Amino acid sequence: MEIEFLREFIVLSETCSFQEASERLYITNSTLSKHIQKMEAEIGHPLFERSTRRVTLTEMGRILQENAGAILSQYDEALIRMNKEAAKATNTLSVAFTNTTSRYGVLDTILSFKQEYPDINLQIAELQGPPQKSTFLDRQAEFIFASDKGWATKDITHRVFAKEEVVLVTSDENPLSQKSVLNLSEIAEEQLLLPDRAFLQDLLFEACTRAGFTPKVRMYTNNAQTAFQLTASNYASAIFPRACLEEYTGDKKIHAIAFDPAITFEVYMLYMANKPFSSAGELFYDYVSSHTGGSL
């Protein structure tokens, strides 16, 4: 049986919903359904009773649920111990970051650590999507830097690495450009460009709801340069992290205006909870702690 299928089974047994489970696992409904069907075919019994809205465990499913956690814990513990020994032998450290966090000093910190500890075999990976638990467990990464901790489980802990402010970006032609700070309610009628990132959209929509309006979104994009070029031409105003302004290379002037109260999010360093670091991992954790104002 595929060990990842067993992890998916546990999530589905907890949520009793293919839709909710697939969202938590970052896979499609059809993929999750195929994996569960393969498990059922291998076991020879159905694990769930399916309806149009929810699923419930069969008796065989309940038996597997009672034992699945222990099976995974033993597997994970053995894998981590083996990889820890391998890391000790090679003095290797693997660090990953999501592609939205590099602008917040993550890559600079990783590279400065490498300069201070040149004998450590440092392996760096950039993740294009949300990090998965398996990324830690197969030791593709001992640490991951990410902006969204909502997917984390009890097995993964996080520490704040950096905090970032979200600002309104406007053109010279927009009357709001004369302001140095504004309340979110003041942009209720603005046409907006927003980042195409789920966690940022959730953050912004929740803030707008609290301010009493639904934002008028004209376009979503992850390309800050594109957003700011459109903003400079007065196509719409943009709401983006302040650090993204460094990416703008256009000729027309744009203005960044802070919100009051401020809208912020955090960048996290994530790692396995209650599991020992490798020797290189201990050095890295201490190094990051000492270079981030003690926030770890």
Q: What is the pLDDT of residues 206-262, one digit of tens each?
A: 999 999 999 999 999 988 889 999 999 999 999 999 988 887 777 788 999 999 999
pLDDT of the residue at 200: 87
Determine the pLDDT at residue 294: 44
Q: How far apart are CA 7 and CA 12, in angstroms?
A: 9
User: What is the CA angle 8-9-14, rounded to 5?
Assistant: 100
Torsion, Cα of 15, 268, 106, 295 (10° steps): -170
End-to-end CA distance of the chain: 38
Q: What is the pLDDT of residue 85?
A: 64
Q: How far is CA 236 from CA 76, 129, 173, 231, in A?
A: 49, 27, 11, 5
H and E: helices and strands count for the chain: 9, 12
Buried b / exposed e over 239-252, threshold 16 CB at 10 Å, is bbbebbeeebeeee
Of the candidates 237, 218, 203, which has an alpha carbon nearest to the alpha carbon of residue 100? 203
Question: Domains (ranges, CATH) in the chain?
Answer: 3-74 (1.10.10.10), 81-162+266-290 (3.40.190.10), 163-265 (3.40.190.290)
pLDDT of residue 139: 61
Q: State which amino acid sits at residue 161.
A: F
How far apart (Å, rounded) are the C-alpha atoms in residues 266 and 77? 30
Output the pLDDT for position 79: 73
3-state secondary structure of 282: helix
In this prediction the pTM is: 0.64
**Residue numbers of the chain with a pLDDT score lower than 50:** 294-296
Beta bridge partners of 219: 193
Residue 156: the pLDDT is 83
